Amino acid sequence: MAGGKIRKEKPKAPSNNYQGGISFHKSKGQHILKNPLLVDSIVQKAGIKSTDVILEIGPGTGNLTKKLLEAGKEVIAVELDSRMVLELQRRFQGTPLSNRLKVIQGDVLKTELPRFDICVANIPYQISSPLTFKLLFHPTSFRCAVIMYQREFAMRLVAQPGDNLYCRLSVNTQLYARVSHLLKVGKNNFRPPPKVDSSVVRIEPRKPQPQVNKKEWDGFLRVCFIRKNKTLGAIFRQKSVVSMLEKNFKTLQAVLASLNGSSGEAAMMDVVGDQSMGMEDDDNEMDDDDEDMEMDEGQGGGGEFKEKVMNVLKEGGFEEKRSSKLSQQEFLYLLSLFNKSGIHFS
């Protein structure tokens, strides 16, 4: 405009959300490790052998991948983003390392994972829980997984009875694996930086695997952790809990009765295959208490069956105990007492 001053635009500062011309999307959990000392520390703590086949989840542009290729026999990298896949292939093309890198493009939660010896990964935090259990239930055994998690999730994984963060996730994970905290990672070690700090955790599957029914165990813990600081007596007196357990009890009694009749095995398959506790699968393990079932305001109902449930708690001395303080062995013992009385959770 005439008579006015011409405003010079300041040059924009270069974005930290780029590497090699690729933009990173926070919404997809893309936070690339940029600190080479941290990458070296993770590889060292993983204890990789020269004969190891390594599974890497979310390799991004390959900063960690390069160190893994140098340490092990082969790296199988699972990556969802096609741009990252191309960058990964471009980075190692024509190098001696390229023959030892296999890239699988796809969603790791929907991908059938191959055999591997060790998993090392900086994962999108939104898949932390389902990925952890996908690895723990992998059909072929592996030595360990060294994974970067959001710090609070990581501390829940390693929490012990009485800790503030001790929850269903802690008990569930530690039944199937030995879990240890390796190191804390500040958010400025990533490009772009996430909103929270992270931690690296080592997960070693137990061998042999515990002989428990996975659905039964998970259903039992979901009830116990409805409100982890309430007494178990208060939780198991709730109408919704008593009603659910009584329904399961009657269903199983019907199955047992049918086994003595002509329908036999077919009846068992029909009823058990359709069985549920009215609780959906929940991948979000971050809550202090399980929100799939709410505590009832009132108590009562159930009659004789409610008394049956309470007798189990009294027999084991659990009526006044709280889930937040119980050890894994105590949970296993209580579940065995319920099962011995014909009370099941799946």
| β-strands 190-191, 32-33 pairing | antiparallel
Enumerate the H helices of the chain as residue ranges.
36-46, 63-71, 82-92, 128-136, 151-158, 168-176, 214-224, 232-236, 239-259, 264-273, 303-316, 328-340
33 marked among binding-site residues: yes
- What's the CA gap between 42 and 45, in Å, rounded? 5
- What's the CA gap between 315 and 257, in Å, rounded? 28
| β-strands 118-122, 190-191 pairing | unpaired
Q: State the residue for tokens 């398959």.
A: 269
Q: Do 154 and 201 touch, CB atoms closer than 8 A?
A: yes
> Would you call the peptide bond into 36 cis, given omega within 30 degrees of 0 as the criterion?
no
What are the residues facing 144 on neighbouring strands?
118
122 marked among binding-site residues: yes
Enumerate the H helices of 188-302 as residue ranges.
214-224, 232-236, 239-259, 264-273
Q: State the residue for tokens 């940029």.
A: 34
Burial of 130 per CB tally in 10 Å (0-12, 13-18, 19+): middle
- What's the CA gap between 77 and 100, in Å, rounded? 11
Residues sharing a CB contact under 8 Å with residue 45, sequence separation 6 or more, in sequence order: 146, 182, 183, 200, 202
**DSSP label at residue 322:** B
107 marked among binding-site residues: yes
344 marked among binding-site residues: no
Sequence ranges of the binding site: 31, 33, 58, 79, 107, 122
Sequence ranges of the binding site for S-adenosyl-L-methionine: 31, 33, 58, 79, 107, 122
